[in-house]
Amino acid sequence: MSEDFNALEKAIIEIEPDKAETLAKQIVDSNADPKKLVTTISKALEIVGKKFQNEEYYLPELVMAGEISKSILAIAEPILKSEEQGPKVSIVVGTVQGDLHDLGKNIFVTFASSAGFNVIDLGNDVSVDRFIEAVKGEKARILGLSCLLTATDKELSKVIEALKKENIREKVMVIIGGAAITEELVKEVGGDAFAPDAITGLEQIKEWL
Ligand code: B12
Give the ligand 1 atom nearest the CA of 39: 53
Q: What is the pLDDT of residue 56?
A: 96
Q: What is the pLDDT of residue 84?
A: 64
What does the pLDDT average to over 152-179? 97
Nearest to 12 by CA among 35, 55, 42, 33: 42
Q: What is the pLDDT of residue 31?
A: 81
146 lines ligand 1 (CB under 6 A): yes
93 lines ligand 1 (CB under 6 A): yes
Q: What is the mean pLDDT of the chain?
A: 93
Domains annotated on the chain, with CATH: 2-80 (1.10.1240.10), 90-208 (3.40.50.280)
What does the pLDDT average to over 165-186? 97
Torsion over CA: 70, 72, 74, 76 (sign): negative
What does the pLDDT average to over 166-176? 97
Strands 90-95, 118-121: pairing is parallel
Place 86 in a pLDDT band, splitting at 50, 70 and 90.
Answer: low
Place 144 in a pLDDT band, splitting at 50, 70 and 90.
Answer: very high
CA angle in degrees (0–180, nearest 5) for 40-22-26: 70
Nearest to 155 by CA among 114, 99, 104: 99
What does the pLDDT average to over 23-50? 90
Q: What are phi and psi of 90, to 5 degrees?
A: -90, 135
Give the ligand 1 atom nearest the CA of 199: 53
Probe target for ligand 1 pocket from 62, 156, 175, with the most ligand atoms within 8 Å of CB:
62
Q: What is the pLDDT of residue 1?
A: 65
Q: What is the pLDDT of residue 145?
A: 98
> Cα(2)–Cα(164) distance, rounded to whole angstroms?
47
> Cα(156)–Cα(162) distance, rounded to whole angstroms?
10
pLDDT of 22 higher than 90: yes
Task: Give the residue, 79 or 127, on which the prediction is more confident.
Answer: 127
CB 70 within 8 A of CB 17: no
CB 108 within 8 A of CB 202: yes
pLDDT of 154 higher than 90: yes
What does the pLDDT average to over 32-61? 92
> Cα(15)–Cα(167) distance, rounded to whole angstroms?
47
Probe target for ligand 1 pocket from 122, 148, 202, with the most ligand atoms within 8 Å of CB:
148
- High-pLDDT (> 90) share of the chain, %: 80
pLDDT of 50 higher than 90: yes
Q: How far is the CA of 50 from the centre of ligand 1 (A)?
A: 11
Q: What is the pLDDT of residue 78?
A: 83
